[in-house]
Each structure stands twice: as C-alpha cells, then as structure tokens.
Amino acid sequence: MKKRIIIGLLAAVMALQVPTAVLAGEAADSTSRLTIPLSIVEGEEAVDNMLFDEGISPLRKNNKGTAEIKGLQTGFEQAEELQAFKSALDYCLVWPYDEMANKKLWKGDSSRLAFNLYSRGNSTDQFIIRLYKGGNTSGEFMDDFSSFMPASEGFYVQNIRLNTPYFDAGTYTIEYWAMTHINGAYVETPDSRGNFQFQVVNDRIPLMGVALSETGKQMRIEQEIEVDLSLTPSDTTDDTMVTWTSSNENVAKAYEDYSTTHTGLIRAVGYGTADITATVAGHTATFTVAVSPKTDLDFPFTDIMIDDANWKYTNVKYVHSNGIMNGISSTTWFKPDAPLTRAMFATVLYRMAGSPATNYSARFSDVPAGQYYSQPIIWANDKQIVNGLGDGSYGVDRNITREQIARMLYEYARSSGKNVSQAQALNSFTDTAKVSPWATGYLQWATAVGLISGKPNGDGTYRLDPQGEATRAECAKMLTIFDQKY
C-alpha cells in the first residue's frame, strides 16, 4: 500500500504514523480533490461553514450534490477548519482513480489498478474490492482484494496487481465499497458502492507521447491552477500513472489530483519561475510558471518574473512590445538564459530595420533560400553588417558572442547614418588580452555608449568577456539601450 500524505490537509495539523508493514513504496507529497457523497458529511451546513477563498478551500460543494476535498500546501494555517473537516468524516472511503474506467490492459505483462483510500485511523474498517469476469457484477467471480484500512488516519493509494498474462482477452468488472466499523458492527459507507469495467487485450498499445494543456502561466502567490495531461494514444495499455515535479519548489509546488489522475494541481508559493514536468512511462511534458508580485496582461512570457526591479522583465518587455524580439515559437517562453545564434541576431537587426525587401542570392554554404534567416543574413551582408566565417559559411547555428554583437550593432548604426565616433579605452577591464584584434574598435564604441558595461569579477573589477556567448536576455538589454539611444 503506497502512502500519500496529503500535504496541508492533514499533515498541517497532525503527524501521520503508519506501521512499516502497512506501507509499500515511498511517501509522497500530494494534495487531492476528492469527490465524496454529501450524505457522509454532517449536513450541508457543515460544508458551507468550511468554504474559503477560491482555490484554497479544503471542503466545498459542487453542482453534483457532492462535496470536494481539496488539499493545501505544507504549513498553510487553517488548523481549526481542518480539524472541523476531519470530524465531519464519520466513515472510511474507497474510490478508484478515474483513469481505471475502460482502461485497456495488455496480456503480455502484469497490470496495476489504483484506488484511493481514506482511513479514519480505525484498523477494523475495511475496503472491499472484487473482480468479476464480464461486463457486470453478475459475471464469474474471480478474486477478492479486500483488506483492512491502515491504522493511521490519512489518505492512501492502494495498488492492485493483476496477473493479466493468465486472463482471457475480454471485459472485466471491478466492484468496490467501504465498510465502517461503528459501535461493534460493520456499516456500509453510504453511497460508497460502485463498479467499473476494464479490457484485457492481446496486443500492446504503447504510449507514444504526452502533452499538457498549458505551455506557460503567470501566477500570483497562493494561486492554484489545474493542468490537464493528454496521452497519445489515449487508449494505451502502458501504465499511465503520472509523476508531477517542480524544478523550484520554493516558487511552485506540483501535486497530483487524486480524483483525476491526469490532472496536476500547481500552487504558487514564492516569487520566481519554475518548470513543471509531468512524467508518464518515461515520456515527459513541461511548462513554465512565473510567479510575480504584479500582473502584466500584455506580457506573454511565463518564464520571466514580472517585476519592475527585474532587468530581464523590463528589457524583454521593451524589445517585445517594440517588435524587436519574439519568444520561442508556439510557446509562452522567452528563454531569457538561452544563447542567441548568429542567424537569430541578424534576423533581429533586419526586423529593426523594417524588414526591407531583399533579393536572395546564394553567398554562404549554410544559408539556403526559404529559411527564416535567409533574407535577413543577405540583407545584413549587403549592408556590410555581417561577414562569413572565412570557410564559406555564415555560422547560422553558432551562438553569437559579445564582441560579435558589438560589431554588428556598430555596423548597423553606421549603415543607418548614425554617429559612431564615440570610443572608450578598454584598459579598465581585466581581460582585454582576450579581445580579438578586429573587435577592439567595436568594443571601445560599445562600452562608450553603454551597450556593454562589463561583468563583475567579485573583487570590484570588471571583465569584458568578449568571447562569452550572450544570452537572449543580455541581447534584449543591449538592443533596448541601442534602440533608445539611436
């Protein structure tokens, strides 16, 4: 039995102690949205009294005549209300993951069916799970997976392994319900009985990929969102249990929604950005959340924190709103820390110039016609803004360096008739020996006009880092300064 502690729902108000023998698998941080019959709660008034702000209610009514239990983050201080919630549940519960209904299982390997359990902490309570052959419970009885509830109060996952290689292909039915031990007698938990069908098939249907309903999201502190996962193909016979992870749990926490296996619950807990990843059978899908102290509906990128004190935000906002730079195609990512290629930078300058009409001609071995960078590179070469690498190629996929940017911006300003006479000595920088001979004049101009200010060494001195690759955010800053100055 795999223990899943519901962080913030029960763990915030008590420590769950479960005997080692009860557990199988690792404890995992989770939240849940569990749908339960209102008849097992102490009246609808008790539900109403526990409604809080949208997105943080541990118990709420929905439009189906049931209540929903929604988990909270670790340490969320709702202790009195959560104690009231616990006392409202007088019965133990069992219910299946929704992915189990009509699931296809392959005869070639053993398979898993997953159920949720809520234990009151009474080890005499029972969950009943029975297997029948055929499309209903009147078919041939095959097996009984019933057992006692864990001795500690909490939510759990019960995995049932089926030796499907010994099953005939066809339809099977699972029936389940809970038995609560009250005053020395067993009482069936009201409205807990249900059943579902699954299929055993001869041929494996492998999972080919996964996708998320979000590509990126701006969030506020304490906001929670749902993200749906889709499978290709949807009727795969592979195990489709999802693992949700966050690259930075100080910014956003990712949880599994217990009642809807292929939905993740993402909660913002701190400022910054985090990548949220869903993993299923070795396949992954990722999106980025940006948790910011302010909202900017005109700023589409979710991997940059929206904060006027954040230089990445202010400069990326400028170049994007002025049509100078775009994000990564078909996403809400800007990728501020990713490098920029020589082809991309030529395209940026071409866009700044108004995308003038240009006749393509083959000049570089790696610049064929019809690419997004084809006309920009030919235009930039016509204007003597760029040259090739000396081997017949332009180097479209090579990441651009800081000294190359200085040259290209200088030549772009010159070709536009701007004053480029400013110059500043470079001897205040500690790494002038690394400057390419052809780049000295360009860097003297770039430092004089403030495009390049140097990188701190940590001892009060600065370096040019002329051979260093410029990130997309650094390029955005240089382009912002350039555009505002010229």
301 pLDDT band, cuts 50/70/90, is confident
What residue ranges do the domains of the chain occupy? Answer: 209-291, 313-485
pLDDT, position 261? 65
Q: Provide the pLDDT for residue 10.
A: 26
Q: In this structure, which topology does domain 209-291 adopt according to CATH?
A: Immunoglobulin-like (2.60.40)
Q: Give the ranges where 147-192 is alpha helix by DSSP (H).
A: none
Q: To the nearest whole percent, how much of the chain has pLDDT over 90?
A: 52
Which pLDDT band, with edges at 50, 70 and 90, does 131 fall under? very high
The average pLDDT across 24-43 equals: 32
Q: Which of 82-96, 170-184, 461-475 has the lowest mean pLDDT?
A: 82-96
Distance CA 251, CA 120 (A): 33
What pLDDT is stored for residue 128 in this prediction?
95
Contact 156, 150 (CB under 8 A): yes
Q: Report the pLDDT value the prediction gives residue 367, as an integer from 0 to 100.
A: 95
Answer yes or no: is pLDDT of 267 > 60: yes
Per-residue pLDDT tens for 63-93?
A: 333 333 333 322 223 334 344 444 446 788 8
Task: Tell me 46's DSSP state.
Answer: H
Q: Is the pLDDT of residue 102 over 70?
A: yes
Buried b (16+ CB within 10 A) or exposed e, 436-459: eeebbebbbbbbebebbebbeeee
- The pLDDT, as a whole number, for residue 118 is 84
Segment 237-263, tens digit of pLDDT: 998 888 899 999 999 999 876 555 688
Residue-averaged pLDDT of the chain: 79
Q: What is the pLDDT of residue 300?
A: 85
Q: How confident is the model at residue 126 (pLDDT cuts 50, 70, 90)?
A: very high
